[in-house]
Amino acid sequence: MNTLQADLLKGLTDAQSAELLALGVRRQYPTGAELFPLGAAANSVFLIERGRVALTLPMQVQGRAEDVMVEERDGGQVVGWSGLIPPHRFTLKATAQLQTDAIVLEREVLLAHFEKHPEVGYLVTRNVASVTGQRLQIFQAMWLREMQRVIELRCP
């Protein structure tokens, strides 16, 4: 992963990025492994180094509960930002679609680092706001597109 391209590290110097990444724990997730389940307490943020993660929500399909993919994240992208945003609960389930390597950053460790380095805290928080804002806008547009179809079906 190129640290300059990582969502969470945009705007940070190489030294700041290296210092931040050193706070995390590198973990490997084989294909199909779960990074976090829906509804669990969110205490960490996951920075994907390589691989791909599917974010899913349960849906009833032909009478069966199935995890339906709503988003995909790959190298350089962040998942689990609920670890930094209250109420600190995962609102999706994350599963490795491929062999995935991620740096897991715990909230308490990150917050302590931000206390010492507010400029890093500001940039990371801005990056998290950018990720969450983009997701909100995308889902807003997706929701409106589906609503348009519902209206076209019901009131042709």
Partner 1 sequence: MEMFLMAVCMTLFGVAVSAMAFGAATSDVREEQALATLDSKLDVALASMPERFFARDTAPTINVPPPVVTVPRVPIEVLLAQIERHVRLEHAAAESFLYDPTVESLHSRTTSPLVH
Number of residues in contact with partner 1 under rule CB under 8 A: 21
Question: β-strands 78-79, 64-74: how paired?
Answer: unpaired
User: Which of 61, 111, 112, 129 contacts partner 1 by CB under 8 A?
Assistant: 61
- With tokens 């300059």, the residue in question is 4
Nearer residue to partner 1 within complex by CB, 53 or 110: 53
Q: Is the dihedral of CA 5, 142, 104, 13 positive or negative?
A: positive
Nearer residue to partner 1 within complex by CB, 26 or 149: 149
Residue 130 touching partner 1 (CB under 8 A): no
Residue 25 touching partner 1 (CB under 8 A): no
Site for partner 1 in 71-90 (CB under 8 A): 71-72
The two three-digit tokens of residue 56, written as one number = 């899913």
The CB-of-70 to partner 1 minimum distance in angstroms stands at 6
Among residues 110, 58, 113, the alpha carbon closest in space to that of 80 is found at: 110
- With tokens 């976090």, the residue in question is 36
Q: What is the number of residues in the chain?
A: 156
Neighbours of 102 (CB within 10 A): 29
User: Which of 115, 116, 145, 154 contacts partner 1 by CB under 8 A?
Assistant: 145
Per CB under 8 A, residues contacting partner 1 are 59, 61-62, 64, 66, 68-72, 134, 137-139, 141-142, 144-146, 148-149
